[in-house]
Structure formats: C-alpha cells, structure tokens
Amino acid sequence: MPSSLAKHRRAAFARQNGRCHYCGFPMWLEDPAELSARFDLADHDAARLQCSAEHLVARQDGGGDGADNIVAACLFCNATRHRLSPSPDATKYRHHVQRQLDASGWHKKRLRQRLAEFSLRSMGANGICQGSARVG
Ligand SMILES: [Zn+2]
C-alpha cells in the first residue's frame, strides 16, 4: 500500500473515532490484541475488524487515492462490498449494512453481542444515514 494511502487510512481512523464507516464497529489499526482483550474477541473475529482504507468511489470507477475519497472501514465490510458485482455505491452500501445490522444479518452473532453497544446507532455524530436507517 502506498504510504499516502496508509496515512489517509490512519487519518480516517482517527476522524471516525476508530469505527467502521459502514457498520460502526470498533476497529484496530496496528495490533488486534488490544481490541481482542477489550471485547474478549477470538483472534479470527478481531481479524475481521482490521482497519482498511476504503475508497468511497472505487478505483475501478475512477476514484482516486486522495484523502477526500478515503474512509476507514473494517476488513469485513470492505471485502464484502467489493465481492459484490457490481460494487454498490458507498452510500447505498452503508444503508444496506445498517439494515442488515438491524435485522441481525451482519457480522457473526458473537461479534454483534460483544460489540452491540458500539453499533452505528449509538454513533449518530456524522449522521449521514440518520433518520433513515430504521425506516422500512
Ligand atoms: Zn464494518
């Protein structure tokens, strides 16, 4: 990964208080041990919550590596978005993740239980999806 991307990833991580742009779960940047210990997570569960640099507009759609196109997302949300074909746009995907969380269909049960109180709902601060996440 180019160092500028790593820098943007770290900046986004700090800006988002260490939470995933899509699911709102806490992530780890350098070392999963702290997160594992804090939430009593198994290693393979913590591995899904590694912070990754996520392109809001995917590279294949012309998105750049600039800070304004990079958010921090957990590995699970990031990988899942890009496994979909075509990859949904970031705003739509965020709504999708939140609906799945509401329906208990995102992340494994054990993870959700341990991290429930940290879900996006309790975040609210940047409010991109506020008011609409529960509709429907
Ligand atoms: Zn996530």
Which listed CATH number (3.30.40, 1.10.3470, 3.40.1350, 3.10.20) goes with 3-121? 3.30.40
The whole-model pTM stands at 0.82
CA 26 to ligand 1 center in whole angstroms: 8
Confidence of residue 127 (pLDDT cuts 50, 70, 90): very low
Residue 3 CA to ligand 1 centre (angstroms): 23
Dihedral sign computed on CA atoms, order 67, 73, 79, 81: negative
Q: Shortest CA distance to 24 belongs to which of 89, 73, 62?
A: 73
Residue whose token pair is 């074909």: 85
C-alpha 77 to ligand 1 mean position (Å): 4
52: CA distance to ligand 1 center in Å?
A: 10
Distance 136 CA to ligand 1 centre (A): 21
**pLDDT per position as a tens digit, 100-123:** 998 988 999 888 888 876 654 445
Domain residue limits, the chain: 3-121
How remote is the CA of residue 79 from the centroid of ligand 1, in Å? Answer: 10
Ligand 1 centre to CA of 2 (Å) is 22
Residue 125's pLDDT band (cuts 50, 70, 90) = very low
Q: Is the pLDDT of residue 131 over 50?
A: no
95 and 68 in contact (C-beta within 8 Å)?
A: no
